[in-house]
C-alpha cells in the first residue's frame, strides 16, 4: 500500500501541515522537526505527489563513509582521497569506523542512512549482502573491497599485485621467500596469499608456511622476530607495507642488512614506503585516487547520473625500490614491463 502524507504525519507525531511545510522547505519548521520529519519520510519510502517538493531535493549534501579503521597511513591516504572527492563535488563527509566488527558496521550504517545522501563502505570483513541488507536498498552505495553485494563496487586486483611482487623477488634470485599474511578472514589478504602461492607454483618451488599477521606494523615486527628465530629466508613479502616496515625494524634491530642479508617487499605503496631506508619495493595502489573516485561515483548515483551499479578493478603497479636487492648470483632479467624507483 502506498504511504501517504497522513501516514508520515502519524508516524512522526506531527500535523499533516507540518509534514507539508517540512517537505517544501519553508522556514516555519524548526531544524529539529525538519530533520525528524525527513528521517521518518525516508524510512517509510514516502514519495510526494508531483506537485510537492521532491524528497530528493531535500538532500543533506553529506556522504557517509564507513571504514574498518581510521588509523594508519593507508587510511590517512584513503581519507585524503575521499575528502578531495567530497570537496570537488560540494559535499561533506560523515566518517565512522567498524573496527572489523560486522555487528558494529551494520549498526553504524543504520544510524547513518537517514543522515546522508549516499554511502561509501570499506568492509573487507563483511560480505556485501550484509552491508546492503542493512540499508534495504534505500541509499546509494559504493563498496570498496569486500565480497559481492548490491551497489557499486571498487576493488583492487590483489592476486595480480601479489603475483607480480613474488615473481619479481624470484627474478631477483630469491628462492626462499616468506609470506606474512593479513587476517585470515580478510578478502584482500586471501587474494594476496593466492598470488604468492601461484607465483611459487609457476616457478616449481614449494612456498614456506605462512606467517600470520594482522596488517598492523607491530604484527610485522613480531613476524620478523619469529623469522629470526626460525631460520632467516632470502626475502620476506608482507601482505601490506605496514607489516613490511615492522619486519624491517625487527631485522635492523638484530643488526641485519636489508637487502644485503634479507630482502623485503610489501603491498599498497603508502607514503612511508618511499621514505624509509632502504625504500620499500611494493605493489602500488593509487589509494587516494580510489577514494576520490568512490565519492565521485556515489555523488553521481545520488544525482541519478550514474548507470547501473559499476564494478571497477584497480590494477596495482609493481614499484621496485632498494629493499628487494638481488642475490646477484641467481638474479634473472625482468620478464615484464615494470616501473622502477630504485633508491
190 and 232 both lie in a single domain: yes
Contact 190, 125 (CB under 8 A): no
Q: How many CB atoms sit inside 10 A of residue 287's CB?
A: 23
224 and 326 both lie in a single domain: yes
CA 187 to centroid of chain Cα atoms: 11
Q: Tell me which long-range contacts 32-37 makes (C-beta under 8 A, separation of at least 24).
A: 36/12, 37/8, 37/12
pLDDT recorded at residue 159: 97
The CATH number covering residue 134 comes to: 3.40.50.2300
**Does residue 293 surpass a pLDDT of 70?**
yes
C-alpha cell at 188: 584482500
pLDDT recorded at residue 329: 43
**Does residue 193 surpass a pLDDT of 90?**
yes
325 and 202 both lie in a single domain: yes
123 and 232 both lie in a single domain: no
252 and 330 both lie in a single domain: yes
269 and 330 both lie in a single domain: yes
Confidence bin at 132 (pLDDT 50/70/90): low
pLDDT tens digits, 218-266: 999 999 999 999 989 999 999 999 999 999 999 999 999 999 999 999 9
pLDDT recorded at residue 328: 46
pLDDT recorded at residue 59: 76
> The whole model's pTM is what?
0.77
Looking at residues 8-22, what average pLDDT do you find? 86
Vertex 154: Cα angle to 149 and 159 (nearest 5): 100
20 and 71 both lie in a single domain: no
pLDDT tens digits, 50-65: 444 445 456 788 999 9
Residue 121: phi and psi, rounded to 5, are: -125, 125
**Does residue 339 surpass a pLDDT of 60?**
no
The total number of structural domains that make up the chain = 3
145 and 80 both lie in a single domain: yes
Could you write out the DSSP letters of every residue in 118-172?
Answer: EEEEE-TTS-HHHHHHHHTT-S-EEEESSS--SSEEEEE-HHHHHHHHHHHHHHT
Final residue belonging to a domain, choices 22, 39, 57: 57
Which stretch of 25-34, 195-204, 208-217 has the lowest confidence by average pLDDT? 25-34
169 and 278 both lie in a single domain: yes
109 and 167 both lie in a single domain: no
101 and 208 both lie in a single domain: no
The CATH number covering residue 24 comes to: 1.10.260.40
pLDDT recorded at residue 90: 93
Looking at residues 213-217, what average pLDDT do you find? 95
Which stretch of 17-21, 116-120, 164-168, 172-176 has the lowest confidence by average pLDDT? 17-21
192 and 147 both lie in a single domain: no
Q: What's the mean per-residue pLDDT of the chain?
A: 85
**Whole domain around residue 294: which residue ranges?**
62-156+287-313
63 vs 127, higher pLDDT: 63
Amino acid at each position: 500500500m502506498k504511504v501517504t502524507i497522513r501516514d508520515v504525519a502519524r508516524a512522526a507525531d506531527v500535523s499533516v501541515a507540518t509534514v507539508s511545510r517540512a517537505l517544501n522547505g519553508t522556514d516555519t519548521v524548526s531544524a529539529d522537526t525538519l530533520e525528524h520529519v525527513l528521517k521518518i519520510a525516508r524510512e517509510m519510502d514516502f514519495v510526494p505527489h508531483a506537485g510537492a517538493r521532491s524528497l530528493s531535493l531535500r538532500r543533506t549534501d553529506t556522504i557517509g563513509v564507513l571504514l574498518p579503521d581510521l588509523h594508519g597511513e593507508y587510511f590517512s591516504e584513503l581519507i585524503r582521497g575521499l575528502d578531495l572527492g567530497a570537496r570537488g563535488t560540494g559535499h561533506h563527509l560523515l566518517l565512522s569506523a567498524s573496527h572489523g566488527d560486522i555487528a558494529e558496521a551494520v549498526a553504524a550504517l543504520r544510524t547513518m542512512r537517514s543522515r546522508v545522501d549516499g554511502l561509501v563502505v570499506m568492509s573487507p570483513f563483511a560480505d556485501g549482502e550484509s552491508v546492503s541488507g542493512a540499508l534495504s536498498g534505500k541509499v546509494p552505495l559504493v563498496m570498496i573491497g569486500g565480497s559481492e553485494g548490491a551497489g557499486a563496487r571498487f576493488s583492487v586486483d590483489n592476486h595480480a599485485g601479489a603475483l607480480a611482487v613474488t615473481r619479481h623477488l624470484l627474478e631477483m634470485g630469491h628462492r626462499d621467500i616468506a609470506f606474512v599474511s593479513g587476517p585470515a578472514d580478510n578478502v584482500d589478504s586471501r587474494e594476496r596469499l593466492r598470488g604468492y602461492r601461484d607465483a611459487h607454483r609457476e616457478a616449481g618451488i614449494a612456498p614456506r608456511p605462512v606467517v600470520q599477521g594482522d596488517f598492523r606494523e607491530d604484527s610485522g615486527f613480531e613476524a620478523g622476530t619469529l623469522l629470526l628465530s626460525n631460520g632467516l629466508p632470502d626475502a620476506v613479502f608482507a601482505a601490506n607495507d605496514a607489516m613490511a616496515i615492522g619486519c624491517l625494524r625487527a631485522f635492523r634491530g638484530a643488526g641485519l642488512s636489508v637487502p644485503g642479508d634479507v630482502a623485503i617487499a610489501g603491498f599498497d605503496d603508502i607514503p612511508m614506503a618511499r621514505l624509509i631506508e632502504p625504500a620499500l619495493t611494493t605493489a602500488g595502489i593509487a589509494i587516494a585516487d580510489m577514494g576520490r573516485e568512490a565519492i565521485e561515483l556515489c555523488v553521481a548515483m545520488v544525482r541519478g547520473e550514474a548507470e547501473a551499479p559499476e564494478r571497477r578493478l584497480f590494477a596495482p603497479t609493481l614499484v621496485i625500490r632498494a629493499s628487494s636487492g638481488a642475490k646477484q648470483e641467481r638474479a634473472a632479467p625482468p620478464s615484464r614491463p615494470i616501473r622502477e624507483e630504485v633508491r
